[in-house]
Amino acid sequence: MEDKVRIEMEFVIHASPQLLYQYISTPSGLSEWFADNVNSRGELFTFIWDGSEEKAKLLSKKSGERVKFRWLNDEEDGASYFFEIRIQVDEITKDVSIIVTDFSDEDEVDEAKMLWDNQISDLKQVLGSA
């Protein structure tokens, strides 16, 4: 199995960390921008896009700060990849950013970055901060 490449991207978002956290940590918030629909049973989240489903396990979350998921197919493969969405507030300027950490196959890095760009763009629209 080929190792995946770690990707980290930062997006400035004009919204309060508390509001942002609702959009990154709840099924209803995630279904507004990340997937067509999101369901959860405990720590198991089901993301639905155009009729196809992907399941992810919520590995950790810290209120108002971050959420970390692992796709179940990665877990079944014994891989330790994850994706994390972290809210960061600059102490001096008080600018709010989202830091996305994800993993992608080396030949799909550009596509993965473009996908996150589009997802975060949708989030900004939902928040009215575009």
What's the pLDDT tens digit per position in 42-63? 999 999 999 899 999 999 999 9
* Radius of gyration for the chain, computed over Cα atoms and rounded to the nearest angstrom: 14
Average the pLDDT over 12-38 and give the result.
Answer: 96
pTM to 2 decimal places: 0.92
pLDDT for 23 beyond 60: yes
Average the pLDDT over 19-39 and give the result.
Answer: 96
pLDDT for 41 beyond 60: yes
C-alpha dist (Å) from residue 77 to 46, 56, 73, 81: 18, 13, 6, 10
Domains of the chain as residue ranges with CATH: 5-127 (3.30.530.20)
pLDDT for 8 beyond 90: yes
